[in-house]
Amino acid sequence: MSFREIVGHRRLKRLLARAVRSGTLPPSLVFAGPEGVGKRQMAYALAQALNCLAPVDGAEGERDACGTCASCSRIARGLHPDVVLVRRPEDKSAIVISQARDLVRQVGYRPFEGRCRVVVIDDADELGGDSQDALLKTLEEPPARNVFVLVTSRPNLLSTTVRSRCCVLRFAPLAAAEIAGALAGAHGFSDADAQAAAALSGGSFARAMGAGARERAQARAVAAAVLMETAQTTDVRARLAVSAALLKSAARKGKDTDKDRDREKEGKSAGADRESVAVRLNAMGSLLRDLAVLTTRAPGTALVNLDLRADLEPLARHYDRDRLARAFSAVGRSLGALERNASPKIVADWLVLQL
Ligand SMILES: [Zn+2]
């Protein structure tokens, strides 16, 4: 993946792309920032830009990889001998000292075929104290044509001496619009799905793409519908009818859907599983928070569900401070009750009468 293909982080991309071109890249870097925002991808983009056989130079002094040459494609497939990925072995609790020693030995040799060896230490906060010590001297002054990238979402777990030897680049959460744009473009989401997934991602592209993203988007749609319908009626029977929506099984793909349908035919509540009700209640909490923002007109506070603004604004008129407080507390108590194994149906019925 080249710099231009990475979502967001314009300033960091430009910084790195210029440093590659001008040969001023610090040899030891820390990429610090939340999970799933593209830190590891950026490390690989850097490795490609450094080793590309046909690099693309931009008008502002930056250099990016072509993405298609032999070097770029081997890096993308994880097959380049000079791009070294180090991570904690699955059966260990830390990146162990022998890995660190191997690394120190390895970087003593010249790169095999690339211009520059790039060592990516993934989840570098899992370096044990002794491994950090073993790497210290190498990080301070890596042999020529070696670049270290320490990727971490918890930079504070790196020792201060390690951090002081490295140039720390901070990655911010991605903006919802950046994520939505990428999902709708390269990943084939519909605009509505892309915006919903982005709004619920907390700025993490991985989370927006990951398992459950569509389920969270659907859960939010259900929660919004429940809030809208309960806002318009105090009639108990009408409200209990709304509760069924909270319990209805989420649409699943393939076999599961058939199974659900069979179970529904047998009269069993297939979808009223605790977890999907909880996901919907969490979505409801997030919507209520936005309603609070809209009713108090708190200046400079962004809506989490910005894409639903047109629906939330009229809904906010039904909610004053007291009603919001009641609704928040009811959602919180419902989630607690679900955790304590209360029947989802009883919880949902109780909740729709409190909203
Ligand atoms: Zn290339």
pLDDT tens digit string along 6-22? 999 999 999 999 999 99
- pLDDT category at 192 given cuts 50, 70, 90 is confident
Mean pLDDT within 235-255: 75
Strands 146-152 and 83-86: unpaired
Instruction: Report CA(117)–ligand 1 centroid distance (Å).
Output: 15
Instruction: Report CA(50)–ligand 1 centroid distance (Å).
Output: 9
Instruction: Report CA(1)–ligand 1 centroid distance (Å).
Output: 10
Instruction: Report CA(49)–ligand 1 centroid distance (Å).
Output: 7
Terminal C-alpha separation, the chain: 48
- pLDDT category at 261 given cuts 50, 70, 90 is very low
Q: 199, 65 in Cβ contact below 8 A?
A: no
What is the spatial distance between Cα 331 and Cα 350, in angstroms, rounded to a whole number?
10
Mean pLDDT within 86-106: 93
Q: Does 269 have pLDDT greater than 80?
A: no
pLDDT at 56: 96
Instruction: Report CA(159)–ligand 1 centroid distance (Å).
Output: 35
Provide the sign of the torsion angle of the four alpha carbons 31, 34, 40, 42, taken in this order: negative
- pLDDT category at 305 given cuts 50, 70, 90 is confident
Instruction: Report CA(60)–ligand 1 centroid distance (Å).
Output: 19
Instruction: Report CA(5)–ligand 1 centroid distance (Å).
Output: 13
Residue 98, classed as helix, strand or coil, is helix
Q: Does 281 have pLDDT greater than 60?
A: yes
- pLDDT category at 252 given cuts 50, 70, 90 is very low
The two three-digit tokens of residue 227, written as one number: 């809030």
pLDDT at 267: 39
Tell which residue, 73, 64, 63, 84, has the closest CA to residue 150.
84
Instruction: Report CA(257)–ligand 1 centroid distance (Å).
Output: 45
Residue 241, classed as helix, strand or coil, is helix
Residue 125, CA atoms < 13 Å, CB-side half-sphere: 11
Amino acid letter, residue 260: D
Amino acid letter, residue 250: A
Mean pLDDT within 56-82: 94
pLDDT tens digit string along 220-234? 889 999 999 999 888
Instruction: Report CA(71)–ligand 1 centroid distance (Å).
Output: 6
The CA distances from residue 175 to 178, 201, 294, in Å, are 5, 10, 20
DSSP state of 186: T
What is the spatial distance between Cα 133 and Cα 233, in angstroms, rounded to a whole number?
65
Give the CATH number of domain 3-170; options: 3.30.70.20, 3.40.50.800, 3.40.640.10, 3.40.50.300: 3.40.50.300
Amino acid letter, residue 346: I
| Ramachandran area for residue 78 (φ above 0: left; ψ -120 to 50: alpha; else beta) | left
Least confident of 110-119, 267-276, 309-318: 267-276
pLDDT at 25: 97
Q: 89, 96 in Cβ contact below 8 A?
A: yes
Instruction: Report CA(56)–ligand 1 centroid distance (Å).
Output: 8
Instruction: Report CA(116)–ligand 1 centroid distance (Å).
Output: 14
The two three-digit tokens of residue 89, written as one number: 């072995």
Residue 146, classed as helix, strand or coil, is strand
User: 301 or 182: whose pLDDT is higher?
Assistant: 182
- Scan for tokens 């679900």, then name that residue: 338
Buried b (16+ CB within 10 A) or exposed e, 322-335: ebbeebbebbeebb
Instruction: Report CA(42)–ligand 1 centroid distance (Å).
Output: 15
24 phi, psi to nearest 5 deg? -115, 20
For residue 347, with 0-12 CB atoms within 10 Å meaning exposed, 13-18 middle and 19 or more buried, which class applies? buried
pLDDT at 256: 43
For the chain, list the strands marked E by DSSP: 28-32, 56-57, 63-64, 83-86, 117-121, 146-152, 167-170
What is the spatial distance between Cα 233 and Cα 237, in angstroms, rounded to a whole number?
10
Instruction: Report CA(189)–ligand 1 centroid distance (Å).
Output: 29
What is the spatial distance between Cα 16 and Cα 2, in angstroms, rounded to a whole number?
12
Residue 66, classed as helix, strand or coil, is coil
